[in-house]
Amino acid sequence: MPGKLLVFEGVEGCGKSTQLKRLHAALPQSDRLHQLQRRGFVPQILTTREPGGTELGAGLRQLLLSDRGGAPMVSRAELLLYAADRAQHVEEVIKPALARGCWVLCDRYTDSTVAYQGYGRGIDLDLIDQLNQVATGGLVPDLTLWLSLDVATGLARTRQRGVADRMEQADLAFHQRVQRGFETLAMQHPERIVAIDAAAAIETVAAEIFAVVEDYLQQWYAPSLTA
Ligand code: TMP
């Protein structure tokens, strides 16, 4: 049976990494999963992230997020580094996992490039779509959970965590443009992007995400579940 790619997206401090871990921990209790297992399909669940889901990507993540001093990174270099990370990640990790029937939970993917480098940095959106196409070979998420949160609230959360990375250091207007990017993407792709209210308590958000994923699993595997 085919694997599935589930992606978590959102602005800084929206809680996506926490929620990804929560979903990973909760999925073994899924009724849909149990039904599939009874029919002999035992999908592995894999968690990964962009940037940094491969050994090459770990180095690229370091380059992208650390503030190295010296001349600032230009936007096109930033775009290409994210694309390089993704190309390696898709080929080395995501595609083989999907071919094995895994459920891949990925922290950020192509929508982040549209939101951050497109809306945030102002790079041409068609160029970004082309580059995403090159990096992914056309691999689109089966479901994108967009954790929607007010930008100022998210940034305040990240500041509590300590030193801001290179992207978090960008000004509020940048992060507000990023947010507009995610809002626009959600309107353009209602078939795969589900908005989750990330302002709620962690437990509430986790429960909502679990319910959404159960619904999607039902849709994806309905013939196998009723067979
Ligand atoms: P995070 O994994 O902690 O969310 O950090 C990744 C940072 O990289 C975050 O600021 C968003 C940014 N980013 C982009 O700007 N473009 C991209 O394509 C991706 C995947 C992430």
Give the separation between CA 79 and CA 64, rounded to whole angstroms.
10
Model-wide pTM > 0.75: yes
Counting from 1 in the atom list of ligand 1, the atom nearest the Cα of 168 is: 10
State the total domains in the chain: 1
pLDDT tens digits along 138-193: 999 999 999 999 999 999 999 888 888 999 999 999 999 999 999 999 999 999 99
CA of 162 to the centre of ligand 1 (A): 17
Mean pLDDT of 20-46: 95
Distance 113 CA to ligand 1 centre (A): 8
Residues 6 or more apart whose Cβ sits within 8 Å of residue 124: 118
Atom of ligand 1 nearest to the CA of 51: 20
The domain containing residue 100 runs over which residues? 4-226
In ligand 1, the atom with minimum distance to the C-alpha of 64 is 8
pLDDT score, position 195: 98
Q: Whole-angstrom Cα distance, residue 79 to residue 88?
A: 15
Residue owning the nearest CA to atom 13 of ligand 1? 112
Ligand 1 center to 115 CA (angstroms):
10
C-alpha 57/C-alpha 176 separation (Å) is 27
In the reported structure, the alpha carbon of residue 88 is separated from the centroid of ligand 1 by a whole-number distance in angstroms of: 16
In this predicted structure, the answer to whether residue 93 has a pLDDT above a threshold of 80 is yes
The whole-angstrom separation of Cα 89 and Cα 105 is: 13
Both tokens of 189, joined, read: 């792709």
Taking the CA of residue 178 as reference, the ligand 1 atom at the shortest distance is: 15
Query: Which pLDDT value is given to residue 77?
Result: 97
- Report percent pLDDT > 90 for the chain: 90
Q: Distance, CA 222 to ligand 1 centroid (Å)?
A: 34
Q: How far apart are the CA of 66 and the centre of ligand 1, in A?
A: 12
Classify the phi-psi angles of 196: left when phi > 0, otherwise alpha if psi is within -120 to 50, otherwise beta.
beta
pLDDT band per the 50, 70, 90 thresholds, residue 227: low
Q: Is the pLDDT of residue 226 over 90?
A: no
Distance CA 51, CA 56 (A): 10
Using alpha carbons, list the distances in angstroms from residue 94 to 17, 72, 121, 162, 165: 18, 31, 27, 31, 26
Which residues line ligand 1 at a C-beta cut-off of 6 Å?
Answer: 12, 49-51, 82, 107-108, 112-113, 116-117, 167
The yes-or-no verdict on residue 223 having pLDDT over 90 is no
- Say if residue 37's pLDDT is above 70: yes
**Which DSSP state fits 53?**
S
CA 201 – ligand 1 centroid, Å: 23
Q: Which of 8, 108, 132 to mutate to test the pocket of ligand 1 (most atoms within 8 A of CB)?
A: 108
- The tokens of 126 are what? 């068609």
Q: Percent of the chain beyond pLDDT 70?
A: 100
Q: Which pLDDT score, from 0 to 100, does residue 8 have?
A: 98
Whichever domain contains 98, its CATH number is 3.40.50.300
